[in-house]
Chains A and B, each alone.
Chain A
């Protein structure tokens, strides 16, 4: 149990847990994005992708359980770290100025995380666990035609982009990967990937909202 205690109970151990679970979630995002990109090719392609995915049944359940575990770990450790870190400076500064290290993404990790969680719960309830036996393309088309729902997705995905803009770089540093040879690549790559992932996801509610031919 020494190893578990070293990882769950120390600052550096918890950093590894946040980074590893974050990397797992990021990989899921990429797979989810690739799959859902079939949306751009019309209703037939998208429905066929969904049918193929669901035909994996047991394998899919297994992946879902793993994913749930990653989410729970990332959220539980994220929240406890946030609370711990607030307590580490009981008296705040009267004037607080950045020395130049922080980014909009790094400042807002906890809050953008909450936004992602809200989107995730909404998405799970209204899509994943929806009591709807029609074609998935019809459900998504109906959802994204609603400006409130589409707007909420766009807001949530902006939060995701912000979270990734720090997270996709930060996780490498936490895992101990930092070298002048490729630091630039990691930093810029993280920003580009965050923009790409959030942007492509965001294109879906945007198209649903403004394009009549969406998922027809």
Chain B
């Protein structure tokens, strides 16, 4: 299938810095190849802006192959755009029609401060991971793969949870700006693996405390997070986080 050329109207959130008030600015793009990725389309926009002497739109990106978790913006109300299980960098312009208007906004949450334009500060996620998203006990050297006392089923589920790239789309999609899916991914992954067991109690308590302390909202089971997650992480992991938390909260110090 050969590439087509489409024309687009973009309404992009422009904000100079965290303190400045932002607003949507309207731009017209012509002859965008449908083979381009969404970020390449933004590159074209920025080249156009540079020619007219306007500041380019700031947006986060790194690997551009859907595995690093750096990119992400809300396109017409949906984090990472309309395609399921797809990061913004892997979203291609063939999913849009000529004449479409795209409203592009940053991930919005109290815990995600806008740094500039579409760039948000997601260090709140780092703070949550620092509170317990690791194994710090000595589990010995790397054992023989088949010597690990773990079932295939648990290994698969842990792997599903570990697929989280920490992009923040779950928070952006959540009507309450809750970070429950992100936290549950890490808690679940480590709760399913033997190496995570010695610290599972502290992990559940501390990561939930850190999450609440960062100003995220509360989960009300709207299920928007799993629908928006580019890695299709299931809310089944949130249920596991709830169980982990309950067990930890009810047991003594």
Contacts and interface: CB of A to CB of B under 8 A. Distances in A.
Contacts, number: 139
B108 interface: yes
Given A11-B211, A16-B242, A88 B176 contact: yes
A101 B178 contact: no
Contact of B108 (A7, A84, A89): A89
B192 interface: no
A99 B174 CA distance: 10
Contact of B246 (A89, A176, A179): A176
Contact of A90 (B78, B110, B238): B110
Given A13-B245, A93-B74, A99-B227, A88 B221 contact: no
B79 interface: yes
A106 interface: yes
A91 interface: yes
Interface in A77-99: 81, 84-85, 87-99
B78 A102 contact: no
Nearest to B248: A6
A92 B108 CA distance: 7
Contacts of A81: 218, 220
A101 B208 CA distance: 23
A2 B253 contact: yes
B35 interface: no
Interface in A98-152: 98-102, 106-107, 109
Given A2-B253, A101-B227, A102-B223, 16 more contacts: A9-B212, A11-B218, A12-B180, A12-B208, A12-B245, A88-B111, A89-B108, A89-B110, A89-B176, A93-B74, A93-B105, A94-B11, A95-B103, A106-B222, A173-B235, A177-B239
Interface of A: 2-3, 6-7, 9-16, 81, 84-85, 87-102, 106-107, 109, 166, 169-170, 173-180
